[in-house]
Structure 1
């Protein structure tokens, strides 16, 4: 039952949520980002350069077995998932920036992910299988992110009053759907979570919190506005665990290598929610 919720229900639920995000966006949001590219550049630098370095340091610090260490690096190299856009929406981030970052990262990952993973295999597991990222998976992420959003934007363009009226109900519905997704994810991965909790929980929690923190604090230190920093935090901090699992199991043919992403895929939901509450508490309307 839990597996069905995550495999079938999650994409449907996120599609509905992304449609709701589209209702709150206009083309002007994306034009504004093009005029201020610093936020995009900083977030991409955090995602593509800082995170792999941080993760590599963690796998050495926690002394993970090579197969799990490579699995963590695979997770670190995976682009942000659609869940990042949902959290950005819930915690008043710049959703247009977040969606743009997710789309850009999904394309860049075609090159960056194989580079990071192959270097990790060479350093941590010499003689391991080389990896290439299936382009169809990038297209899938791209379409899940942009398809429903474009539809929502079209509805807003045709029915702006309806889109405005739906803002609050969509946010409430998003919280309800997110709760169901968390329950489903925990249920589907319960056995994996329990059997690997001791070996992986520490590094997964540390990596997730560091990713979120880096994604938020680096832009803030560089004087990037709060809403864009929130978007950066969730884009940099929430990875596409499903993509990492698919590559580990289908491309590398190594189920054990998928375990870090499986554990992360469950723990990231409550960790990101707690982080969002922490950084937005008392900051409503702050820039």
Structure 2
């Protein structure tokens, strides 16, 4: 319920006009979606095969890669002189598509890597149950928030004043609970977890930047797609972990630390780009 409130707050910043970009210039949208829904999962699997983390940590990396973009990415895109309309459209699209793609991507990744495939067998998880949960905590609040913004703009502005600080507080509580419940695991694998998340997040940023460059997109589009790919909704990941995986320690630690690190790395990258001109050498 708490994450549903967060997503409702996120959707209050989205208006129907934001989706006009889908029809006016669909190329950046499709490249951005493929970067998040295809490129990131593939890069994640490659990193896991190379580093061979313990299965629970690998599952956490897979779940992060299967989650939609995080809402803070829109603010970061603005800082980075990116395409804000593209950023908002990608966040909204991946959030809606998460109803279908989050369970599918996670299941495919976990089933492809033998150690995680064996660990997954110890949990009774239905792809339909995951899809229903994602629909309830992401899809419905998103549609409700967009409707509020469209039909009740004055009320929306008043609600946003309360919802945004509350959303930040809820996210901090999510991460804190994850760390508290798994503090022994975090202390035992601290350096390993930090290293994996750092490498995973860096690979997401770098992969997305060069991938979008292959299609000769503008630098504003490349910056937004890069940030959208590297900023994932770790709050959703934590909810799924506590709902379907009994708060599995390795998964929770990877996801919780990602939730902290991607803010640090994303803001650092956005700040760097804010001082760089929009030219070929940026």
TM-score (structure 2 length as normaliser): 0.73
Among 22, 36, 48, the alignment partner of 1:33 is: 22
Structure 2 CA distance for aligned equivalents of residues 233 and 212 of structure 1:
5
Q: CA deviation at 1:254?
A: 6.0
Note closer, same or farther for the CA distance 1:117–1:15 as it changes in structure 2 (3 Å cut).
same
Q: How does 1:213-228 map to 2 (within 5 A)?
A: 213-228=206-221
**Would you say 1:96 and 2:89 are equivalent positions?**
yes
Q: Which runs of 5+ in 1 are unaligned?
A: 1-6
1:26-66 CA-to-partner distances (Å, cap 9, x unmatched) read 52x42232232222221222223222222223223333112
Q: Which runs of 5+ in 2 are unaligned?
A: none
Structure 1 CA distance for aligned equivalents of residues 214 and 55 of structure 2:
35
**Would you say 1:79 and 2:68 are equivalent positions?**
yes
Structure 1 CA distance for aligned equivalents of residues 42 and 32 of structure 2:
15
**Would you say 1:201 and 2:194 are equivalent positions?**
yes
Q: Is the 8 A contact 1:189 1:263 kept in 2?
A: no
Structure 2 CA distance for aligned equivalents of residues 209 and 177 of structure 1:
29
TM-score (structure 1 length as normaliser): 0.72
**Would you say 1:262 and 2:230 are equivalent positions?**
no
**Would you say 1:119 and 2:112 are equivalent positions?**
yes
Q: CA deviation at 1:72?
A: 1.6
Q: CA deviation at 1:277?
A: 1.7
Among 132, 135, 143, the alignment partner of 1:136 is: 132
Q: Is the 8 A contact 2:198 2:261 kept in 1?
A: yes
Q: Is the 8 A contact 1:81 1:141 kept in 2?
A: no
**Would you say 1:61 and 2:57 are equivalent positions?**
no
| Deviates further, 140-149 or 259-268 | 140-149
